[in-house]
Amino acid sequence: MSEHALKPSANAVLIGEAMTGGYGNGPDILHDCTIAVEAGEIAVIVGPNGAGKSTAMKAVFGMLNLRKGSVRLNGEDIGALTPQARVRRGMGFVPQTGNIFPSMTVQENLEMGAFIRDDDIRGTMEQVFDLFPILRDKRAQAAGELSGGQRQQVAVGRALMTQPKVLMLDEPTAGVSPIVMDELFDRIIEVARTGIPILMVEQNARQALEIADKGYVMVQGANRYTDTGEALLADPEVRKSFLGG
């Protein structure tokens, strides 16, 4: 299997194509890197530490300078847009850290998520509470008092309040227990079932590929393997090099 085993289709909801670039005037971190996600799909980016996984996602979100390549959302080139403008176009992004307002209640955090909307947000909030029932129970509690897994649910819920066309998650299970990781992955699957495509960077490669429709294995800022999650899990080279045998 080569890095070209799975080509993104022309109608991908989100595609960062042939991206080369880095932060500011620094050296290139990404080298001809392509990541894409189709409608209703979970796509995961895995690879060793320092492979450029989070950098690839940040590039798609407009947080670093691309010297080459393009980013398209529903066919529209959004390469010149700021991250804030990309949110208004339909990108939901949950960073790994600093992704909630700890002193605000759960409900206030969700309301903050809807800052770009001027319509009635109550229906969306009910959908978030249906996806994450614990948040309904704790809606009046300060988000900073919640467990790590619950805080992540607040962060994802807040991104969903914008009614995004695509949801991007940067290491959503960082620092949580295996049980909480499984629960978060279950919730992520449920979000995808509502029709929102999900692009996710994840350290827990094996578990992430188990729920992934498509996986990207990155090494040193470039695509090393691209295939279905199932195919990558079954690939002896991928297993030996990246999944511990």
Query: Is the separation of the CB atoms in 163 and 114 below 8 Å?
Result: no
Among the listed ranges 5-14, 48-57, 184-193, which one has the minimum average pLDDT value? 5-14
Produce one character per residue of 145-160: b if its CB has 16 or more CB atoms within 10 Å, e if not. Answer: ebeebbbbbbbbbbbb
Q: What domains lie within the chain, and their CATH numbers? A: 1-90+165-245 (3.40.50.300), 99-163 (no CATH)
- 84-90: long-range contacts, CB 8 A cutoff, minimum separation 24: 86/61, 86/62, 87/116, 87/162, 87/164, 88/116, 89/165, 90/162, 90/163, 90/164, 90/165, 90/166
Q: What is the pLDDT of residue 25?
A: 87
Strand order from edge to edge, sheet including 222-227: 91-94, 166-170, 198-201, 42-46, 214-219, 222-227
pLDDT confidence of 6, banded at 50, 70, 90?
A: low
In this structure, are strands 198-201 and 166-170 parallel, antiparallel, or unpaired? parallel
Average pLDDT of the residues in 9-22? 90
Average pLDDT of the residues in 142-149? 95
pLDDT tens, position by position, 107-136: 999 999 998 899 999 999 999 999 999 999
pLDDT confidence of 3, banded at 50, 70, 90?
A: very low
Q: What is the pLDDT of residue 5?
A: 54
